């Protein structure tokens, strides 16, 4: 005498397996949103002013043909409810023809940044690497459970600005988009790169 299993057993087993898989997925996704929310809070704390800026043309003593050197004043803004750690700023410029250039970002002291356009252009150029913006008062910051990192801390609940004069050399067309990549994170050690854009146009 043979013994047969009920036909409904196979579909029931399939439903149970799908349910178990769905439970596993939901348990994994329960921890993901918190990190995503924290990183989106970091990104929303970053901004740039102004969003559209005209170029300031500079003396062209050493240029032979092509476009004159120019620059633009921009400010990276930090405001949010939580502490933010900035590790670095990288800059690049793409003109309307698709050509890319790396500018020099010359820091402007806060007391000069509020003066009218033209009066706050730095007359001396500190040693800067093209495409890299220097950060003031950078120091090692203690991180829980890991080694200290080098960065700049902005306290939550307040507003801070870093002012720069972004300078371009000869031959760069003065119409395009300045891209600022900010490497920032929170005190838990989670970091991400946020992209800020400034339109430079005559």
Q: What is the pLDDT of residues 112-166, one digit of tens each?
A: 655 566 555 665 566 678 999 999 888 888 777 778 888 898 988 888 999 999 9
How large is the average pLDDT for residues 171-200?
93
The structural domains of the chain, with segments of one domain joined by +, span 45-200
For the ranges 64-68, 76-80, 174-178, 192-196, the lowest mean pLDDT is seen at 64-68
Query: Whole-angstrom Cα distance, residue 45 to residue 159?
Result: 9
**What is the reported pLDDT for 25?**
42
CATH number of this structure's domain 45-200, picked from the four choices 3.30.70, 1.10.150, 3.40.210, 2.60.40: 2.60.40
Query: Whole-angstrom Cα distance, residue 184 to residue 42?
Result: 7
* Ramachandran assignment for 12, one of left (phi > 0), alpha (psi -120 to 50 degrees), beta (any other): alpha
| CA dihedral of 102, 132, 56, 124, whole degrees rounded to 10 | -120
Q: What is the pLDDT of residues 1-60, one digit of tens each?
A: 545 545 545 444 444 444 444 444 433 333 344 444 455 666 678 999 999 999 999 887
> Can you give the pTM of this predicted structure?
0.72
Cis peptide before 20 (omega within 30 of 0): no
Asked if residues 82 and 186 have their Cβ atoms less than 8 Å apart, the reply is yes
């Amino acid at each position: 005498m043979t013994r047969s299993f009920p036909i409904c057993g196979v579909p029931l087993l399939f439903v149970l397996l799908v349910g178990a898989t769905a439970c596993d997925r939901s348990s994994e996704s329960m921890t993901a949103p918190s990190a995503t929310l924290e990183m989106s809070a970091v990104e929303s704390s970053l901004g740039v002013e102004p969003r559209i800026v005209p170029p300031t043309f500079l003396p062209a003593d050493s240029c032979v043909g092509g476009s004159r050197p120019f620059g633009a004043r921009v400010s990276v803004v930090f405001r949010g409810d939580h502490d933010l750690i900035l590790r670095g700023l990288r800059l690049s410029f793409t003109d309307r023809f698709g050509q890319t250039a790396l500018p020099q970002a010359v820091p402007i002291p806060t007391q000069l940044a509020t003066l009218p356009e033209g009066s706050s252009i730095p007359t001396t150029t500190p040693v800067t690497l093209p495409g890299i913006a220097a950060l003031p008062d950078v120091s090692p910051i203690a991180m829980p459970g890991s080694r200290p990192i080098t960065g700049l801390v902005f306290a939550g609940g307040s507003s801070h600005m870093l002012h720069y004069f972004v300078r371009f050399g000869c031959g760069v067309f003065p119409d395009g988009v300045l891209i600022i990549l900010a490497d920032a994170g929170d005190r838990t050690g989670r970091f991400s790169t946020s992209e800020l854009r400034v339109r430079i146009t005559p």
